[in-house]
Structure 1
């Protein structure tokens, strides 16, 4: 018994030392990030049932110089998503929701999207639905104008073009979680905020946690959100949007830590549910594991398993991280959108768990040494879909990637046809045909794959005459008009004011790739469509991240 007490005492002393070290680092970081009389952040850490660190920095309201505290409520932005997913799991456990049911079973007014979308597709971001934040930007709808759940639903109903077939890919979509909030309301016969606050928060004693679901709803102890501008700190209009499901959960640090501990010892649903939160729920069409569960991402950080989610909205930033193998939880929230809560969370990880770090190998397999004759098969210029050219050259028994105005990058073989780079995170696979020739490759980077074809010397098809494609266009999905006009004799795509305001995109030049295909800076590829008479009748913006194949019809 005496030995056990000594061991426990040693553990507590170690945790106390870690907490003191962490506080010193957080205090130093706060002096840099918050300065004097600036908006700030809160950070808290639990280990098992114990809160080992919690502290608030900076001001919650600059007008009245009110400091942040452990009771200040912060907008969790997209960290809110896992709370919506937990509500869905609770309703599933009660037999009220079938995750494999089509979404129209619970929201009958939704249109037919051409493919069956299941409830689980919404949860895991595999539905193919375009993300409403992107839709609003491209439709010219300000992110700071009043926007309700009804507005959100109407937008989702009107934008019917899917990014991909449901279940095939993972692509983050706020639309999915807005629909999940509506499903919770329809199934529970309660307003979303009533259900979340009464069925999830109240049983855990979380008295400083709220869902902001209607304009003007009072949120006690609410921090004001800010952003850094050339004129200094300015207040943001965060409360204009009252859409729930994917955002707009407000929570105090004290309640964040209660919620974080609940993950390890759940009482709202059966403990076995935890296994579903921390393991891949499915495979995608390409055979890869889906690393997003119920509103949470599965991450390996230096050999440590993390279950986490980030959040960012106007004026606020948040980051929640669970460490399943270490029974630890970290919560960070800020009322300055320019503060990186992810960086603060990583600093906590470095401080508390560095002894467990394992540096991951850059390659999955041991390097393979290939003969010079094999490497020379991979030489040549490969043109990517967006017009970029990747050049490969063998030098002294090694293969190099040549990019204009950049150093040469050595490639390392992991198989007879697959290579990776150590200079940055990317891989490529050369496709060898039945005759042993290489005319195509697949480039993997940033979680995406890109096809490149070997340049055989064929000249690109000339661009269409400018008069063919200059004019006004309209997107029925976006209910918005765009224009292609000339500026200094260069065709430009005139963007909505929202894209200029939020992303700095205004008049974007069209750069010809091949035939009817053009590249537009920061938007990627667009291509013109033609009718049966071969006349240009519209164009498509291929891929802008959370939105693909945005279609426009030429009206004059």
Structure 2
């Protein structure tokens, strides 16, 4: 059998043994569909670059599977349908399903307080339930960013104990549980801890016994040891300055939010289970395919590790993943009984876009054009909207510029497309950025929580005024001291083991950099007494300014 169609026989058996719940309603896809799929992946079908594997099933029957590009550049190993990829955040649905299996057995309830199982977490005044964790309505700060602020480098090994250490020290959350929906990873790391503490098995062992083995997913496993090797493994890559490729892989030794490895064949078996419920039964499949709700009843569009947002007029169950050089996407169209899995090992490839292009090929007869048309705006009107905007809800800063005839976010190449009535979309996205006036902006992305922003109008500090912010700042929440200094006419912040971050003045006491928004706070006397750091997944993280004697001791202890 040719390599491009290399799929082991057990995949066909697993995809066809379960009875269909309903006849598919899909019109026959075009006869040349495989050629069309190949055309979409042709850019990545190289013997000198990483690539992707794609798998498509229709009504439980494998329709096409192929690999493009290289799984291992060092050993000249091509991608095949049996290549094993890190599927990154697609892992979350298996963690949620494991929690659901334990709930079915009466061993826990989704309404349980997380502190019943992880008592080392602080009490925030409001009950934080397992359902809050599962549906991303928990408000926990992003675990990776906390480790970053604690001095971890990107290639450091991080463990479950490290995550629990950081979370247990936090004095605040991004928002009250149930008030908003905000995607994050800490919740699913905690759910993996719950599985172990309730079942007596690691999530790896539990999922293998209860999910992967019954479904014949023999190439799927959670990775407990970051040094573990797998047969037919695809390595993650990103581009190298000056040309070529370099490895880009996670060294995390914890899982639940990610760190699951699989193949397109195994993932198609799982997608079929989300239809036919061989494992877990229809009640559990319905649970993970049911959206969470906010305290006010708003539907979030996120179930148990599954996004429940449609695509071009069709219901779709999906999830994407991004970890190191891996980019992944799994789409399921329940009514049409079509599943598409795209696993890529390059940070330059958008697996989500590719998976949707495959959906366009297979389901084109059913799809609607939902993208609002562009309208023309005068360049003077567009230029008037450029500026810096701050959100009183999230404490974020977004910076907009007029460049090359279009409105854009600073540092992001995608142009904003005007849609009329003050609304814009970034490129082909369905996200809506709406100006109610040149001073007020609201952002609505894939989540139902709209973020309000107001234009920053305070003057930027003069070069001489920057010295007032220089000093050392201490956060006990991550046991770290930060040094702020003036360098080349700008503020910069650094801390042990991390590269210095340059801060661009936004206005008043507010600055922006790769950390997000950095806002200096003042005491009643008017003197600077601390700073906060805020971005999309971490809000108002505070560090207190140290007095001179304290700063000297802190610098000595940190080796600054």
- TM-score grouping bracket, smaller chain normalisation: 0.7 to 0.9
- Number of residues of Structure 1 aligned to a counterpart in Structure 2: 494
Q: 1:266-415 to 2 correspondence within 5 Å? A: 266-283=277-294, 285=296, 288-360=298-370, 362=372, 384-385=389-390, 412=420
Asked if the contact 1:519/1:526 (under 8 Å) is kept, the reply is yes
Structure ID, larger Rg? 1
Question: Structure 1 residues 60 and 509, CA, compared in 2 at 3 Å: closer, same or farther?
Answer: closer
Query: What residue is the counterpart of 2:481 in the other structure?
Result: 481
Asked if the contact 1:210/1:249 (under 8 Å) is kept, the reply is yes
For residues 336 and 25 of structure 2, the distance between their equivalents in structure 1, rounded to whole angstroms, comes to 15
Query: What residue is the counterpart of 1:545 in the other structure?
Result: 536
1:156-193, Cα deviation, whole Å (9 max, x unpaired): 22234211111111111111000000000011111221
Which of 497, 500, 508 lines up with 2:502 in the alignment?
A: 508
SS at match of 2:158: coil
For residues 486 and 234 of structure 2, the distance between their equivalents in structure 1, rounded to whole angstroms, comes to 47
For residues 236 and 423 of structure 1, the distance between their equivalents in structure 2, rounded to whole angstroms, comes to 28
1:364-387, Cα deviation, whole Å (9 max, x unpaired): xxxxxxxxxxxxxxx999995379
Question: Structure 1 residues 107 and 523, CA, compared in 2 at 3 Å: closer, same or farther?
Answer: closer
Query: What residue is the counterpart of 2:6 in the other structure?
Result: none
For residues 450 and 211 of structure 1, the distance between their equivalents in structure 2, rounded to whole angstroms, comes to 39
Asked if the contact 1:161/1:477 (under 8 Å) is kept, the reply is no
1:197-220, Cα deviation, whole Å (9 max, x unpaired): 111111112211111013444433
For residues 416 and 137 of structure 2, the distance between their equivalents in structure 1, rounded to whole angstroms, comes to 37
TM-score (norm 2): 0.78
SS at match of 1:301: coil
Query: What residue is the counterpart of 1:236 in the other structure?
Result: 248
Query: What residue is the counterpart of 1:450 in the other structure?
Result: 452
For residues 514 and 326 of structure 2, the distance between their equivalents in structure 1, rounded to whole angstroms, comes to 25
Please report how far the alpha carbon of residue 72 of structure 1 lies from its aligned counterpart in structure 2 after TM superposition: 2.1
Query: What residue is the counterpart of 2:469 in the other structure?
Result: 469
Query: What residue is the counterpart of 1:8 in the other structure?
Result: none
Asked if the contact 2:271/2:332 (under 8 Å) is kept, the reply is yes
1:37-86, Cα deviation, whole Å (9 max, x unpaired): 43221111111121111112233222222223332211111110111111
SS at match of 1:527: strand
Asked if the contact 2:97/2:288 (under 8 Å) is kept, the reply is no
Query: What residue is the counterpart of 2:519 in the other structure?
Result: 527
Please report how far the alpha carbon of residue 124 of structure 1 lies from its aligned counterpart in structure 2 after TM superposition: 0.9
1:397-421, Cα deviation, whole Å (9 max, x unpaired): xxxx99999x9997855xxxxx645
Q: Which runs of 5+ in 1 are unaligned?
A: 1-10, 364-378, 391-400, 414-418, 431-437, 501-505
CA RMSD in angstroms comes to: 3.7
Q: 1:147-296 to 2 correspondence within 5 Å? A: 147-230=158-241, 231-238=243-250, 240-283=251-294, 285=296, 288-296=298-306
For residues 70 and 535 of structure 2, the distance between their equivalents in structure 1, rounded to whole angstroms, comes to 36
Asked if the contact 1:381/1:454 (under 8 Å) is kept, the reply is no
Please report how far the alpha carbon of residue 299 of structure 1 lies from its aligned counterpart in structure 2 after TM superposition: 1.8
For residues 216 and 438 of structure 2, the distance between their equivalents in structure 1, rounded to whole angstroms, comes to 63
For residues 412 and 27 of structure 1, the distance between their equivalents in structure 2, rounded to whole angstroms, comes to 37
Please report how far the alpha carbon of residue 522 of structure 1 lies from its aligned counterpart in structure 2 after TM superposition: 4.8
For residues 144 and 251 of structure 1, the distance between their equivalents in structure 2, rounded to whole angstroms, comes to 22
Q: Which runs of 5+ in 2 are unaligned?
A: 1-23, 374-383, 392-396, 401-405, 549-560
Query: What residue is the counterpart of 1:134 in the other structure?
Result: 145
